[in-house]
Structure 1
Amino acid sequence: MSHEAYLRSVGLSDLGDDDSDALQRGASLVAHPPHATVDAETVADRYEYLVPELGEDGACGVGLADDPYNLAPICGLEYDQEQLRDHPNTARLVALHETVENLVAETDADWLGVYRRATNPDGEEVLVKEAYVGDHSRAEFPLTESFAERSNNSTVGLTGEAVLVNDVTDHDGPYYECDDRVASEFCCPIRSDGEVVGIVDAEAHEPDFFDDDRTLAIVGACAELADSRLLSPPRVEA
Structure 2
Amino acid sequence: MISTYLSHCNLSISEAVVAGQLAELDAYLDTHSLSATWSYQIPELGEGGSCSLFGNLQEAPFLLTDFVTCNSESEQQLSRLQTIAEYVKTATKIDWFGIYQARPAEGIQQLLKLAYYGAPSRPLFPITEAFAATSNNIQTYLSEQARVINNIPDYVAQGGEYYTCDPKVQAEVCLPLLNQQGECLGIIDAEAFEQECFDEYKLAVLVAACIRAIEYLPS
Answer yes or no: same fold by TM over 0.5: yes
Could you tell me how far apart the structure 2 residues matched to 1:217 and 1:26 are?
A: 7
- Aligned pairs for 1:75-224 (under 5 A) are 75=68, 77=69, 84=70, 87-120=72-105, 122-171=106-155, 172-192=159-179, 193-224=181-212
SS at match of 1:161: coil
1:20–1:124 distance in 2 versus 1, CA, 3 Å: same
SS at match of 1:207: coil
Contact 1:23–1:221 (CA under 8 A) maintained in structure 2: no
Contact 2:131–2:138 (CA under 8 A) maintained in structure 1: yes
Task: Please give the per-residue CA displacement for 1:11-30, whole angstroms capped at 9, x wherever unaligned.
Answer: 11x32xx3753443146426
**Counterpart amino acid of residue 154 in structure 1:** I
Contact 1:29–1:102 (CA under 8 A) maintained in structure 2: yes
Equivalent residue, structure 2, for 1:54: 45
Could you tell me how far apart the structure 2 residues matched to 1:190 and 1:28 are?
A: 19
Contact 1:148–1:174 (CA under 8 A) maintained in structure 2: no
Identity of aligned residues (%): 32
**Counterpart amino acid of residue 100 in structure 1:** A
Task: Please give the per-residue CA displacement for 1:106-147, whole angstroms capped at 9, x wherever unaligned.
Answer: 111100111111111x22111111100100001001110000
- The number of aligned residues is 211
**Counterpart amino acid of residue 169 in structure 2:** V
1:206–1:183 distance in 2 versus 1, CA, 3 Å: same
Contact 1:26–1:103 (CA under 8 A) maintained in structure 2: no
Larger radius of gyration: 1
Equivalent residue, structure 2, for 1:236: none
| Alpha-carbon offset, residue 48 of structure 1 | 0.3
The counterpart of 1:21, out of the listed 17, 24, 27, is 17
Task: Please give the per-residue CA displacement for 1:192-238, whole angstroms capped at 9, x wherever unaligned.
Answer: 12211111110000000000111122112212333x1x1133xxxxx
Could you tell me how far apart the structure 2 residues matched to 1:22 and 1:173 are?
A: 29
**Counterpart amino acid of residue 209 in structure 2:** A
Tell me, which stretches of 5 or more residues in structure 2 are unaligned? none
Could you tell me how far apart the structure 2 residues matched to 1:26 and 1:102 are?
A: 11
Could you tell me how far apart the structure 1 residues matched to 2:3 and 2:185 are?
A: 19
Equivalent residue, structure 2, for 1:64: 57
Tell me, which stretches of 5 or more residues in structure 1 are unaligned? 78-83, 234-238
Task: Please give the per-residue CA displacement for 1:160-184, whole angstroms capped at 9, x wherever unaligned.
Answer: 1110001110113342111000000
Could you tell me how far apart the structure 2 residues matched to 1:102 and 1:162 are?
A: 21
**Counterpart amino acid of residue 85 in structure 2:** V
TM-score by length of 2: 0.88
